[in-house]
Each structure stands twice: as structure tokens, then as C-alpha cells.
């Protein structure tokens, strides 16, 4: 029997009623086998990254307990994205109906062709650190530091909470 591990999922959408897509994503994460949704952050509006002109994003973070291995959890996240209408080919920095990123899973440090843990963008992205701070400010991200500390180092430009 696989042990339960905490995992944190970054959620983002900027197409087809992004707020509704993020809320639906929480529901989809609740339905994953051998996984429990135990925490959800507030929703945030954030400016898009990169050179592609597109609408603002709605972002959040989900806290899970899971018995799934990281690669299996990643595959489940990709299946959810697909069920929401996201095409398998991903335009870098492009608009998205749904983006699910496996940010951290337990103490796992991993670098494969399709998965790096912890997620390499965590330390620079306010749209990840702010919602992650809502639910796990004391979380120690392997090799990077504590969430609250990392969050205090990123600029708040382009992000605002959508709910109290």
C-alpha cells in the first residue's frame, strides 16, 4: 500500500469563464482516485506571462493528500486538462482553458523529460506563491525554502485576490 503524501497543484485559466473553470477544476481534483482534496486557496486574478496577448488569468492552488506516484498524478492532471478541452499540444505562454501544474509532492525532488519537482517556476511566480501561502505558508519546498519566505521575495505587481 502506497503511503499518503501531500501534493500541491497550481490551477490557472484565462479562457471560457476562467473563474468557473478554476472552480470546476477543484471539483475534478476531488474526484481523483486515491486522492483527497484537503485545502483550496482563494482565487487570484493575474496578468499573463510571456509575449502572447491574452486575457488575465484566474489562479489558485489546491492541496491534496494522495497515494499516487508523481508520474501517475501528472497523467491524471493532464487527463483533467484534456477533459476541460485543452489540446495536447501546448503553446508556451499561450492562453488556456485549464492549466494544472504539479508544484510539490512530499519531499520528492525529480527531474525527468516531462516532470520536474519541485516545479521550477515556483520561486519567481507570485500567482503560485500567493495562493500557496494561503494554504501552506510553512511548507518547506525541497531545496528552495519555506513558502512564506519565498512569497515575501516576489513582487505583487499584476496579481490581486478575487475573494477575501
Positions of the chain with pLDDT lower than 50, given as ranges: none
Burial zone of 158 (CB within 10 Å; 0-12 exposed, 13-18 middle, 19+ buried): middle
**Per annotation, catalytic residue among 96, 114, 125, 134:** 96
Q: Is the CA virtual torsion 12, 120, 80, 43 positive or negative?
A: negative
106-131 per-position pLDDT tens digit: 999 999 999 999 999 899 999 999 99
For the chain, domain boundaries: 5-159
* Residues comprising the chain, all counted: 164
Return the CATH class of domain 5-159. Answer: alpha beta
Q: Is 90 a catalytic residue?
A: no
Q: Is 78 a catalytic residue?
A: no
Under DSSP, is residue 22 helix (H, G, I), strand (E, B) or coil? helix
Q: Supply the pTM of this predicted model.
A: 0.95
- Tell me the DSSP string of 50-63: SSS--PPEEEEEEE
73-93 per-position pLDDT tens digit: 999 999 999 999 987 776 677
**Per annotation, catalytic residue among 19, 34, 42, 101:** 101
Amino acid at each position: 500500500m502506497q503511503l499518503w503524501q501531500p501534493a500541491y497543484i497550481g490551477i490557472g485559466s484565462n479562457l471560457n469563464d476562467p473563474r468557473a473553470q478554476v472552480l470546476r477544476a477543484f471539483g475534478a481534483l476531488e474526484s481523483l482516485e486515491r486522492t483527497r482534496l484537503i485545502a483550496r486557496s482563494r482565487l487570484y486574478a493575474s496578468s499573463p506571462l510571456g509575449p502572447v496577448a491574452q486575457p488575465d488569468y484566474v489562479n489558485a492552488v489546491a492541496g491534496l493528500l494522495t497515494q499516487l506516484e508523481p508520474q501517475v498524478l501528472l497523467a491524471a492532471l493532464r487527463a483533467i486538462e484534456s477533459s476541460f478541452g485543452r489540446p495536447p499540444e501546448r503553446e508556451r505562454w499561450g492562453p488556456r482553458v485549464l492549466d494544472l501544474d504539479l508544484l510539490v509532492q512530499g519531499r520528492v525532488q525529480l527531474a525527468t523529460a516531462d516532470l520536474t519537482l519541485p516545479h521550477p517556476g515556483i520561486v519567481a511566480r507570485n500567482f503560485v506563491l500567493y495562493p500557496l501561502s494561503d494554504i501552506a505558508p510553512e511548507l518547506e519546498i525541497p531545496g528552495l525554502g519555506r513558502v512564506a519566505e519565498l512569497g515575501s521575495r516576489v513582487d505583487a505587481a499584476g496579481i490581486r485576490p478575487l475573494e477575501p
